[in-house]
Amino acid sequence: MTTEFDDLAQNGAQNEDELCRDIQMSLPDAFWALDYVERYKFGRFNKDFALAEDGRAYLFGVVEVPLLEEAGSFTWGVWAEVPREFHDAYVERFQSELAEGMKAEGTLANEVPSYDDAFGARLEIVLHADRRPSIRILEGSLAKAQTEGLTLEAHRALDEVLFPPEDEFDEAFDDIDGVAGVPNEGRA
């Protein structure tokens, strides 16, 4: 079975040292989708915790996807929706030895580029005393990538999705000519 990365992979001239190895999601998608004022009303958040007024609780953590032909891993900084009790326990034990090894199941609270089935995927989150929580995805294409690793070809394809060439970016603006008061004239 081929992945979306295999379908998108191209033999670009990129050196593997220039490829992105880390993407961080700023907020859970439930917060991110809202405008500035609605986000404020929806709940509270910082870089590690988020709590919605409706009781949904989130923790920021790290999904590591091993790189097969390069040293290291590709790291996704994502949000996990977790039980409120687990969230609150971590808040009380944050950056202490008491947090080390605490585990819970939850769901992925972000869409992840090139992994169309990632949002809502089941996961296991493990807390640590001295670093961000680690996340193991339990189902879907991101789980498969996390288990099997990312080839250099797939890494290049992911980089293309995350950072399309400028001419594709310009074409995207051509498609919205006049939309939302953004005329095409006068842009470089």
Query: What was the pLDDT predicted at 178?
Result: 44
**Vertex 132 angle, CA 129 and 134, to 5°:** 100
Query: What was the pLDDT predicted at 51?
Result: 97
H/E stretch holding 22 = strand 22-24
Query: What was the pLDDT predicted at 57?
Result: 98
Q: 45-71 burial by CB neighbour count: b if 16+ within 10 A, else e?
A: beebbbbbeeebbbbbbbbebebeebe
Which has the closest alpha carbon to 125: 98, 96, 99?
Answer: 99
For 27-71, what is each residue's pLDDT tens digit? 999 999 999 999 999 999 999 999 999 999 999 999 999 999 988
Query: What was the pLDDT predicted at 169?
Result: 52
Domain borders along the chain are 19-181
Q: One digit per residue, pLDDT tens: the chain, 188 residues?
A: 333 333 333 334 345 568 999 999 999 999 999 999 999 999 999 999 999 999 999 999 999 999 999 889 999 999 999 999 999 999 999 999 999 999 999 999 999 999 999 999 999 999 999 999 999 999 999 999 999 999 999 999 999 999 988 765 555 555 544 444 344 444 34
Q: Environment class of residue 75 by beta-carbon count within 10 Å: exposed (0-12), middle (13-18) or buried (19+)?
A: middle
